[in-house]
Chain A
Amino acid sequence: AQSVSQHNHHVILSEAASLELGCNYSYGGTVNLFWYVQYPGQHLQLLLKYFSGDPLVKGIKGFEAEFIKSKFSFNLRKPSVQWSDTAEYFCAVNEGTGNQFYFGTGTSLTVIP
């Protein structure tokens, strides 16, 4: 079965600091990769996704992620975080054309004003 690892469980940053959240997966075949964000009291929202093409994907709110196939990684980055980025971030992997998604355990980001 697929496994998705998010090594940072809780990250605390000051505003304007740079962010990088790690995500690694185990499946060796074709994958679709996603980052979701869950703001306090809200539902999961898609930040960005990778299906094919340019491995550097740009999403909403200034976030980007890079797919490195050789490392089975899809790390999320943002050059300058804001207080409003405080949320829970989930990495998810979908195998090829299958329906099932596998989620990481999530990373809680707290941005201090």
Chain B
Amino acid sequence: GAVVSQHPSRVICKSGTSVKIECRSLDFQATTMFWYRQFPKKSLMLMATSNEGSKATYEQGVEKDKFLINHASLTLSTLTVTSAHPEDSSFYICSANSLEAESSYNEQFFGPGTRLTVL
């Protein structure tokens, strides 16, 4: 199946700094990528939908100025957590729709996630 990678897998930063997380589709093109946040013992919460070449669509309650998303190419989307605070500590997961699959049905391929810890 299609492979999605994330980098870094784990990051620790100081409060007030910014952190960038990359999401790449390795063997397919993705016009749409999604960013989720997973809380302990809870489900995935969709943060935003990232469309290649256009602005991301944020879910209600997600601060677009805090969580900057850029989808510069068909294989790369980045999430930047700006001015991070301890409450931003979480597991961030990206996923991507396969361009080929979009013609028939929707299937998302998930990255391995990034564990962010803000001290």
Contact = CB atoms under 8 A, between A and B. Distances in A.
Interface stretch (B64-72, B81-89, B105-113): B105-113
Interface size class of B (residues with CB under 8 A): 20 to 34
Nearest to B4: A43
A107 B93 CA distance: 18
Contacts of A103: 43-44
B43 A46 contact: no
Interface stretch (A12-20, A66-74, A79-87, A94-102): A94-102
Interface of A: 9, 32, 34, 36, 42-46, 49, 51, 90, 94, 97-106, 108
Interface of B: 1, 32, 34, 41-44, 46, 49, 93, 95, 97, 105-108, 110-113
Q: A-B pairs with the 8 shortest C-beta distances?
A: A43-B112, A44-B110, A105-B43, A103-B43, A103-B44, A51-B105, A94-B106, A43-B110
